[in-house]
Amino acid sequence: MRFLCSSSRTISLLSIVSSVLSNKTIIGGAYSAAGYLISVMQTVAVLEVLHGAIGIVPSGFLSPLMQWSGRTHFILAIVGQINEVQDSPWLAITLVGWCIGEMIRYPHYALTCLGRCPYWLTYLRYTGFIIIYPTGLVGELLIMYKALPHVKERNLYANFFSVFPFSYYQFLWAVLLVYPFLWLKLYLQLFKQRKSKLGKAEKHHGKRKRM
């Protein structure tokens, strides 16, 4: 599963880069080149949430659920339904950030399980997020904000939200307001993990060098 996800992210990234190089611009092309594959693999990533819930992996349930639901809502409910945001350069930047992050995370997990993870990959895993995550956050917020007038104009998901005392437009505004605070919780949690994981990796690496 993780090998498949890592491979799909690599293919997606190469497709986006190829599109940018052929079009000679970052505006447009990213979603048409890799949007479908990213959407499918992001949906399938719900298995990671289930794995955490039943204890197969030590990541827990809440943090993977928050990340999965946020990204899945973004790519399926917003980007996939509103053509006007698909050509945004910020979407290309966001998708590239997602791909790079997962291309680091999945191999790190697999090699750690095998006890063969090199220190440089652990360092990259717990350092790369410092830049990748804020970039993704800004991109997602800007895309959601850009989508608002189109959501309102089309009364998107009106049937589904008819049972609630608010519309999807109002819901999306609430998401925009709450999203940074939920994201910050995950971001700070990764910094705690970084200190712990790098400390352990340094000790292990030092022992292997002395041997």
Q: Which sequence positions are flagged as catalytic?
A: 133, 140
Report which residue type is found at 20: V
How is 75-98 classified by DSSP, letter by letter? IIIIITT-GGGTT-HHHHHHHHHH
> What is the Cα–Cα distance from 190 to 44, expressed in whole angstroms?
23
The DSSP H or E segment spanning 68 is helix 62-72
Phi, psi of 139 (to 5 degrees): -60, -45
Torsion sign, CA atoms 64, 94, 74, 23: negative
| 95 neighbors 78 (Cβ within 8 angstroms) | no
| 101 neighbors 186 (Cβ within 8 angstroms) | no
* Number of Cα atoms under 13 Å in the Cβ half of residue 147: 33
Q: Give which of 111, 109, 7, 101 is closest to 58, Cα–Cα.
A: 109
Q: Which two tokens stand for residue 197?
A: 């994981």
